[in-house]
Structure 1
């Protein structure tokens, strides 16, 4: 996926309880505070939905939340949803 000058690519990785994972990308606007707030709101709505529904070019993907172990979003959006603990470091044990 190519991003324009006013967009950046966000990577979304879903880790399932069965050990599999799926990778997705979407473009997000760069720039104004309002656009960043919209991205934060979109992410919050997606993460609190059950099921999570993703629109691809040729189909909808419906993912029941009970099948999800974790979700990774990279790079970190500049405007985060309320309740996010930050900044954090992952410690490998």
Structure 2
């Protein structure tokens, strides 16, 4: 996957997604928000980010309990739900 990363904090890629209350803590984006973005026409991770406002004004080291960028979690949730829509 060659999605362009959208924030400066994406230098650390987490291999183990841990989805809590939010997928993007900086902007309070939930898994349901991502699902709704897909249902409303988001076809790429960038579309999801644009539709949900995820990763805007990121301060992941402070806001995300994992202390890393949420990009890999957004990708994980996006892929999980895109696969479900193809079934």
Shorter-chain TM range is: under 0.3
* Structure with greater helix percent: 2
* Structure with greater strand percent: 1
Larger Rg: 1
- TM-score, structure 1 as length reference: 0.26
